[in-house]
Structure 1
Amino acid sequence: MKNEIGDIEDMKSNPSSNSAIANRKKLFAVGLGTFLAVVALGLYIGLWVGLGGKAGVVWNGCNAPCDDVTGICTYTVRVDLHASEFGMYNFVECPDAGNMPDIGMEVGRTYRFVQADITNYFHPLGFAYGSDGALSGNREIEDTSLLSYQLNGEVISMEGEYVPQFGHPIEEWATNGEYYVDVTLPVNFKHARDRDLFYFCHIHRYLGGRIKITRKGRLLHPANLPPIATSPPMPSSYDRECGTFGLVVQGEMTWHHNMPGDFRTPHPECPVTFVCEEGKSRFATCLDAINCHMFNGMTTNEHHGEKALFIHQMIPHHQNAVNMAKSLMSTWDYECDIGDPSVDQATIECTMTNLLHSIVNGQNAQVQTMRDLLESNGWPEFDNCDRPVEGSAVSVDGVSEYIDMDVSRYDESPTNSTGVTTASANTTEQDTGSSVVVNETEICRASCSNETGAEVCTFTAKFDIFASDLGACAFYFDECGIDNPFPTIGIEVGKTYVFVQEDITNWYHPLGFSYHPDGAHADMPEVEEGDYLRYMMNGEIVDLEVAYKPLFFHSPDQWTGYGKFSVGLKFDKDYDQDLFYFCHILYAMSGRIKLLTNDVPIQASNTPNITYSHPEPSDYDMSCGTYGLSPFQLPHPECPESFVCNKTSTFSGCIETMNCFMMAGMTTRTANAEVFGDVELFLHQMIPHHINAVNMAKALLKTDTVDCPSLVLSAGKDTSADCLLEAMLRDIIGSQNYQIQIMYRLLNDGGFPKTNDCVVDIGAE
């Protein structure tokens, strides 16, 4: 210690010695700093070069053009629906870059991503720090100083408005206006120093592409980091020919979401054909493989209960619908500018365009939901079993029992020269007209109260999805009893009535009131809105066509989150016939309203007539929660010996019967029309396919295994797996019933037969 202290004292008394020591310290510090800088630079350059880049490299990839006045650079977004299972983004400004290209963005500029093209439907863009954003657990760009979602120049909420609207009906989405996202990266954007950004789809997975950040045209980070986790395989050459995905899956095309195999016919687990007659179109030939893929995927085990069985059945079922729609898109030469007010949107071309895009995008989204449900429950993605078809023979002149279904009530209601609905040879009358005198004891009355100082009477509307066929879920009212579908109800002239549509079963069933059955569905006048009728949401009067009916098309979880829907009716018009309640979306669902004075009917007879009846399910269908299945119980000559292996529930037996119904219905003849032949074939195939989906969803709800106390998912009140499943089940029932009626109308309007069936006997009986 003394020596150390002495040395210190010597330095204090010798300034020159102190200066020398200080200089040595400075030289050492400078040398060390230089050495560390050189090492760091060497490491940085080495890493950079090792990753395939070099400092200051110029970006020569896809760049958006920039407006000289506004300074905004624009990328016009499209989606190639045929490029992979769920499609791939591409940009008009980058015609040579292909699908999902790397694109450039300069710091200090604003980039506008325009999503006006119809292919963007169900594909809202997002931006994140990792591929697929939150869909793959990566952080998204949410800073509003960097990002703004806009509709017609107005900033809207991404989560509350932008993304949900891309899932609304395509007609609504296409007419809302121009959707786009503005992205502005500041000059000092720190993130760009060591990694890229990504564009992705908020709804569909595996569409993510890379964004390279530049300053003065030079890359801030040439290396491609972080990596894109999953790149989906491209379609096979056969799938590209058909416009499909997954029909031939071999080698590099195999991944964890694909069922490997070659499903072109002949195939050991499929009938010899699904489309009878020779000389098939390319679309008809592709249909054989599309249907073989589905039925191969729908022979499954029941190892994990009813819900897992439903999902294992419905995924290949949905993939079939998507492939049929995509194949028709690629083979049928059609044009329709959806949303253009100058274009007749009621043509076959426009109606089919809406239908095809709705099927592809809506069902693809549900496929992803079902895969998530399998994963969250710990169930395997596939649980298939083999069910070889020993042999099959085509009976071109044969007709399966499928065509015995009564679909006549889905025609346009015929009218006579006076505009009054009349019965026709292919309809059955529910009422026999003026000869029927109403039994006053059968008229259901509302529940009335004077709590607000004025008497208000209430009918609480609900629907029994099991009480009838297809879209004709049965109206009933709590005040009249659940065992009384489509009751005749009475309203006192001049008294106020409120029809409450709060229950979840009302989704897709907005009530209407008219002077003739089915109202506008039959081109007949409806009770005047404003004069006698008020549509209300949460007690506020809203316009039927603007803010009432359209909301019933939104997803069931969104619909329940909107609040209380109701209709107020106060009818004091001098009128001596009956009124009718009906559904604004699904037709052939009318019930009678008797006008009363002092509780006595003004019109004793039932007039005008209701020209159709609603068929009731058989005892077998009642046990399954379905309709029309009784003749297709196994064994059946047009079906394999079974569709479900290791059956453990009643539900699996119902699945087998409905699959047999579908197989019999999807063996059809080719169409003869030159222009719309493939369209007719598509409709004849898709109708029994949709009926099967509706029956499957209804049957699973009938099991009471789906436990969801609340469907307000969009409000964050319940995100349980069962609620996600129930929302999807109700969506299938509502939307596909609606599409079934659209397809029947297309057949009717095109002069096509309702069925064009043939028998393919596989000898299972």
Structure 2
Amino acid sequence: MIFSAAVVLLGMLVSTSASGTGTSLDPCVPDDCGIGATSCVFDVKLVAVGNAVAYFEFDACPGVQQPTLGLKRDVTYRFNQYDSTNIMHPLGLAYYTDGAHNDVEELEPTIVPPGTTSSCDTNNGCPAPMYYQGETFQGNFVASGGGGADFGLDAYEPFFKYPDFAWGGPDAGPNTIPAVSPSGVAVTAPLNWNMRITQTATDFDQDFFYFCHIHTGMSGRIKQLAADGTILSPNDFPALFPASLYPAPEYKVVSTGQEQICGTVGLNTFFEDTHNGKCPTSFICTEGLSFDTESANFNECLDAMDCAMQFNMIIVPNATDPIVTFVHSMVPHHINAIQMCKTLMQTGLEDDAFLALCWNIVNTQSLQIMEMNEYLASNSIPEGSAKCFDTPAAALAGSANNNGNSEPFSNQEPFFISITVFVAATFVVAVGSFFAARRYFEGNEEANVVGGKSVKMVDDNAL
């Protein structure tokens, strides 16, 4: 009881600083959101390097990965997703991590906040984000039951599949966007999209979460604040990434140690000279050559990530389902492509075409990994459960492990060569497809305009 009282007292005493550091004790808040403010603004962009997928970054606390935000009751918060890095990352709000990705409740006009006895669901009065294009609301929501409960997401989300060169800024005027699929038509739209939320439920103090409607694992915590900035619930509840749903550690970690030069996670046990026994040789040929620091770092990272891919792609095939075998082998390949792009971006990549290409690889292949892992989950198969080699020693010695594999690396050279050729071919196809698409878009800038705010640029099925 004494401890509980102390925690409550601590919660009463803790209040946020001017901008906050993005922690649970000091949430990130906008600079313009002092006592008495009725509206506050977060500018949102995405950062790809430093973690497994990408993370939302907010102007009020730059450089903080998956920061904890602080929101006051009865204050309208506007989240501007103007920056083109927001492509494929429409922002959402949920009562638990990752919202619909985990089949848990999101903030919607007809969903009662958990732990409350509110009847807000009867009059569209529950806390919910509202989605806008500029100043134009995208839904038909009317409070007090006077209209529909559409809060604009159905129109908002499809536009996040538009290409980067069509993206608008804070003062963007109309952009003519050509159709790129049989189901699409050209549209004119300023792509200055924003999401707004006013939390008015007085009996709901619990934390909730921001997340990406397309990708999993990008959630961050939101602490509710009193008018003076005091944190209403000092405990971090619910859990951000509960182990029961997120067994993989990459959602919980950021780059550490040697891998920091790469902007990636999960590589620290794969670096040269020995690859910690996980690979038999180097994957780059640098003997007698000299490199500047940036190129040397990139080469070192490339060698480590290629080892990681090769090590993780050597698997025990599934006895009855080729799709499972495909997934276990393809996921490490996709991770390698994502890691390569993150490391290239870490160099300060300034080539616009390749920057767009890398963002496309990170976004698309992360989504594909998510979909492949969902197939494993639907068949009750743990991710990464088919690796041949349990330990580095087993890998080098070729000793049998729990999966019964006893092939040494020396007998796997044709396999290494085939993977290398496959990766190279995949990259060439990706680059060729990207520049072909770029030429297509640029050649269709004069496309006729057919209005319609909710027109999709790309078929959902195309992803």
Distance 2:376 2:108 in 1: 30
In the alignment, does 2:265 pair up with 1:262? no
Distance 2:74 2:83 in 1: 27
Q: How does 1:460-479 map to 2 (within 5 A)?
A: none
Among 51, 63, 80, the residue aligned to 1:114: 80
Q: Is the 8 A contact 2:270 2:305 kept in 1?
A: no
Deviations, residues 586-610 of structure 1 (Å, cap 9, x unaligned): xxxxxxxxxxxxxxxxxxxxxxxxx
Task: Kindly name which structure, 1 or 2, has the bigger radius of gyration based on alpha carbons.
Answer: 1
In the alignment, does 2:259 pair up with 1:239? yes
Distance 1:741 1:173 in 2: 19
Normalized per residue, the structure richer in strand is 1
Query: What secondary structure sits across from 1:300 in the alignment?
Result: coil
Q: How does 1:260-299 map to 2 (within 5 A)?
A: 261-267=269-275, 268=277, 270=279, 272-277=281-286, 278-280=289-291, 281=295, 282-299=297-314
Distance 1:273 1:57 in 2: 52
Q: How does 1:88-127 map to 2 (within 5 A)?
A: 88-95=55-62, 98-127=64-93
Q: Is the 8 A contact 1:170 1:358 kept in 2?
A: no
Q: CA deviation at 1:148?
A: 0.6
Q: How does 1:352-751 map to 2 (within 5 A)?
A: 352-382=354-384, 383-386=386-389, 640-641=412-413, 643=415, 660-664=417-421, 687-690=424-427, 738-739=433-434
Structure 1 residues 263 and 376: alpha-carbon distance in aligned structure 2, compared to 1, 3 A threshold: farther
Structure 1 residues 264 and 173: alpha-carbon distance in aligned structure 2, compared to 1, 3 A threshold: farther
Identity %: 29
Q: Is the 8 A contact 2:138 2:153 kept in 1?
A: no
Q: Is the 8 A contact 1:242 1:286 kept in 2?
A: yes
Structure 1 residues 167 and 327: alpha-carbon distance in aligned structure 2, compared to 1, 3 A threshold: same
Query: What secondary structure sits across from 1:77 in the alignment?
Result: strand
Query: Cα RMSD over matched residues?
Result: 3.4
In the alignment, does 2:343 pair up with 1:327? yes
TM-score of the two chains, using structure 2 as the length reference: 0.66
Unaligned runs of 5+ in 2: 18-25, 110-123, 140-151, 169-174, 176-189, 243-250, 398-409, 440-463
Structure 2 match to 1:197 = 208
Counterpart amino acid of 1:739? F
Q: CA deviation at 1:639?
A: 8.7
Structure 2 match to 1:207 = 218
Structure 1 residues 350 and 164: alpha-carbon distance in aligned structure 2, compared to 1, 3 A threshold: same
Among 178, 185, 190, the residue aligned to 2:199: 185
Q: CA deviation at 1:112?
A: 0.4
Unaligned runs of 5+ in 1: 1-42, 249-260, 335-348, 391-637, 644-658, 666-685, 695-734, 745-765
Distance 1:81 1:639 in 2: 37
Q: Is the 8 A contact 2:271 2:300 kept in 1?
A: no
In the alignment, does 2:168 pair up with 1:170? no
Structure 2 match to 1:222 = 234
Structure 2 match to 1:351 = 353
Structure 1 residues 52 and 381: alpha-carbon distance in aligned structure 2, compared to 1, 3 A threshold: farther
Structure 1 residues 95 and 379: alpha-carbon distance in aligned structure 2, compared to 1, 3 A threshold: closer
Distance 2:55 2:227 in 1: 29
How many residues are matched?
348
Q: CA deviation at 1:126?
A: 1.0
Q: Is the 8 A contact 1:171 1:354 kept in 2?
A: no
Q: CA deviation at 1:207?
A: 2.4
Structure 2 match to 1:72 = 39
Structure 1 residues 740 and 115: alpha-carbon distance in aligned structure 2, compared to 1, 3 A threshold: closer
Q: CA deviation at 1:263?
A: 4.6
Query: What secondary structure sits across from 2:204 in the alignment?
Result: helix
Structure 1 residues 274 and 221: alpha-carbon distance in aligned structure 2, compared to 1, 3 A threshold: closer
Structure 1 match to 2:138 = 156
Q: Is the 8 A contact 1:110 1:183 kept in 2?
A: yes
Distance 1:238 1:166 in 2: 34
Structure 2 match to 1:492 = none
Distance 1:52 1:355 in 2: 51
Deviating more after overlay: 110-119 vs 319-328: 110-119
Deviations, residues 524-556 of structure 1 (Å, cap 9, x unaligned): xxxxxxxxxxxxxxxxxxxxxxxxxxxxxxxxx
Query: What secondary structure sits across from 1:247 in the alignment?
Result: coil
Flag the structure with more relative contact order, 1 or 2, with Cα contacts below 8 A and sequence separation at least 6. Answer: 2
Deviating more after overlay: 292-301 vs 116-125: 116-125
Structure 1 residues 381 and 264: alpha-carbon distance in aligned structure 2, compared to 1, 3 A threshold: farther
Q: How does 1:294-313 map to 2 (within 5 A)?
A: 294-304=309-319, 305-313=321-329
Structure 1 residues 740 and 364: alpha-carbon distance in aligned structure 2, compared to 1, 3 A threshold: same
Q: CA deviation at 1:132?
A: 2.2
Structure 1 residues 292 and 687: alpha-carbon distance in aligned structure 2, compared to 1, 3 A threshold: same
Q: Is the 8 A contact 1:165 1:173 kept in 2?
A: no
